[in-house]
Structure 1
Amino acid sequence: MTTANTARLLITCADRSGIVQAVSGFLYHQGANITALDQYATEAQGGTYFMRVEFEVNQLAARRESLSQSFADTVAGRYEMTWQLSAVSDIKKVGILVSKYDHAMLELLWRHARGLLPCEITHVVSNHEDLRDAVEGFGIPFTVIKVTKDTKAEAEAQIHEIMAGNDLLVLARYMQILSSDFVEKWPMKVINIHHSFLPAFVGADPYRQAYDKGVKLIGATAHYVTAELDQGPIIEQDVERVSHRYSVADLRELGEDVERNVLARAVRWHLEDRVIVHGNKTIVFD
């Protein structure tokens, strides 16, 4: 749904009777039409409840503030909800960080150019010059910010300044570990693609680790970035079967196909307000 009058509600609260009726009843009395509704409860009784509802309502832009206030007063407060109301017309701004590997970044740029990612990609920052032509070919600004052990804090300050105003940062194989200070400025607003099926093979060179272990499956994981390396809430994963005949190069080539699709799905789901973070897990209404 892409009309100016389409909105979404994401809701988290303690599970109890009457939530669906309260939300749907509220929207009914506002003259809204529900076009999609997904829900999940962690337990049959007494768990945590999650909901994503998409709806159409006339004159959304003019009524948005009053709609939010009314929902807070009549529904959210009563059920002690954590919630957010967003409009489909609010196009999210996305910045990308990348190093030398181009496959994950190019997948995002390609999909964006064809209208398959509902966002504005504002800037690509890299610690290498290699991908400038590829990025600028899509009409997107490209900036190189070198990173060394001694200049890491300064480099991150520059990245933060360039990316300020974005709703999401995507690490499309950015081969630098972000500091906890940087991550804290972007809580659950940074998505990373890790080239293994986490929690296996955390850290550097996971395809070599997988080869040495003799795995029969390789995969990729898209997750939110937290201060703890490769431990953030997982959004999406996928795997491919491999055999003893595969070299490290074979694993890497196959794995890159998995990476690009896993990252693209995770980014799209975030942009479409399909992800609710709960502790170190995610609820994904895909």
Structure 2
Amino acid sequence: MTVKEARKIVQDFNENKRITDEDEFMFIEAMNFLIEEEKDPRDMMWLGGYYYELKRFDLALKYYEMAATMDYDEAYECLGYIWYYGRTGERDYKKAFECFSKMMDKGNLVAEYKVADMYKNGYYVDKDQNKHESMIKKLYEKVQKCDNVFDPVPEVYTRLARIKTAEEDVDAAINLYLRAKDWLAQRIRFNAFFGNLNIMKWLIDDLYELIEFDEETFDFYDLYYLLKTPHKIRFFYDDKEMHLESEMEGNECVVCFNGKWYHSRDDFFKDAAVDNVKLTSVYRDLYGFEVI
């Protein structure tokens, strides 16, 4: 294999919408070849990110640590997440704080709100709600300059919304949640990463603690609210009628979409598709939502 051949395999893999086991094997072989040959930390992060999305966190850790040995900034943010959440089975808040602090000092906005979270929760540092709130409010001003859907605007807005809720400024909290929802939906359109979907789920849950759900006017991501309990719903895509149903099974609803069952609302939002097109990527084209 040559570098040119390996790059072609990687490019084809990323453009292929129907991945086979052989495609994945060749992609991983190509990426490891490129890492060995060129030692580019961007390749290490790419492969680490691929494994992270698959929730194969031990392998993600391997490649993030590899990039960190080359002092590649992005690696520290990702390592911070692994240690903060204990993705490999072990939480290490000291390591997480060190990784996030290193990046916060370089102006990384994601690292800054994670450090703020650590002060809120008392992880490694003393619990300090005032410091948490002060950091988030300053971050809110900073993210006003952001214009990329992958910038951490929803993460900051939802944190500030919770602060506003505690301050009983409900109107401000609702406004922040709605703005975060729109921004995040645009991000998920390009990357239905489980972390982004979780933020949306929590956002919707929090939003409808503050306002009454209107069954006459709702959209695709409002289904997070409806699918918590048994419902029958229909909507349309490309002039075709879609059918969605949730039923209780144990303590959680299972979801049936157009005859296919999903274990949970999480699985539905992650995998549901029409003609191999994920619903999250065409959410703007879904219409006529109705509870039946």
TM-score by length of 1: 0.29
Q: Which structure ranks higher in relative contact order (CA pairs < 8 Å, sequence separation ≥ 6)?
A: 1
Please state which structure has a larger fraction of its residues in strand. Answer: 1
TM-score by length of 2: 0.29
Please state which structure has a larger fraction of its residues in helix. Answer: 2
